[in-house]
Amino acid sequence: MEKNWEPKILAFLCNWCSYAGADLAGTSRIQYPPNIRVIRVPCSGRINPLFILKALQAGIDGVLISGCHPGDCHYISGNYIGRRKSATLKRFLEYLGLEEGRVQFSWVSAAEGGKFSQVVDEVVQDIKKLGPARRFVKREDLRGQGVEGSRKNILNT
């Protein structure tokens, strides 16, 4: 593991609350770790579990999904559906053996600039402790090597 490794974290932020909250953190000049890459989605209920898996496969070290507080969803019930999906997905990924803490969830409202920066800080600390993502990452150098490549991948991780 390189000494200067900085985690790369993908943050899916819902447009109406969390993204606005992140924006508020920025305009308030609150300092928070620069490790997140933001993807703006209309609602936390939009999150397809495949997004998270594809991100982890690509080598992302952590994923944060953030939405409106329950009861405040711009689309009324999107975050409730998202909550159910998140609960089942999180448990399943941890059961499979993906480290606990790689995929995290939060409620951040448009007024909570401070909370957003705090959440990012916590997530970055957690991921730093876990180390770079190794499980489930797709090894591009083994592409096209079929079953042999598959075996090499297992022996090396």
Partner 1 sequence: MEERSKAIQDRIREKAKELLSKKEVDLVIGFGEWTLPLRTTPIFIRTPEGAEDLIWNSFCENNLAIYLHKFSQFKVGIVVKGCDARSIIALSLEKRFKPDQLFLIGVPCQRMVDRRRVKKAVKGEILRAHEQGDQIIVEGEDFNTTLRRDDFLYPSCQVCTHRTPMGTNVLIGDPVKESPLIETHPEIKEFEKKSPEERWRFFEKESSRCIRCYACREVCPMCYCAECFVDSSNPKWIEKGFSTSDLEFYHIVRAYHQTGRCSGCGACERACPMEIRLTYLTQKLNLDVRELFDFETGIKADTLPPLSTFEIDDRQEFIK
Do the Cβ atoms of 139 and 154 come closer than 8 Å? no
| Interaction residues for partner 1, span 18-47 (CB under 8 A) | none
Task: Find all residues with CB under 8 Å of 18, minimum gap 6, and list them.
Answer: 44, 66, 67, 68, 106, 108, 109, 116
Tokens 């409730």 locate to: 80
- Reported as half-sphere exposure (CB side, CA atoms, 13 A), residue 125 has a value of 7
CB of 104 vs partner 1, minimal distance in Å: 7
Q: Which stretch binds partner 1 (CB under 8 A): 10-18, 24-32, 34-42, 91-99?
A: 91-99
Under the binding rule (CB under 8 A), the answer on residue 70 touching partner 1 is yes
- Residue nearer to partner 1 on the CB measure, 87 or 111: 87
Do the Cβ atoms of 152 and 145 come closer than 8 Å? yes
Under the binding rule (CB under 8 A), the answer on residue 117 touching partner 1 is no
Task: Please give the residue ranges that form the binding site for partner 1 (CB under 8 A).
Answer: 49-50, 53-54, 57, 70-71, 77, 80-81, 83-100, 104-107, 119, 122, 135-139, 142-144, 146-147, 149-151, 153-154, 157
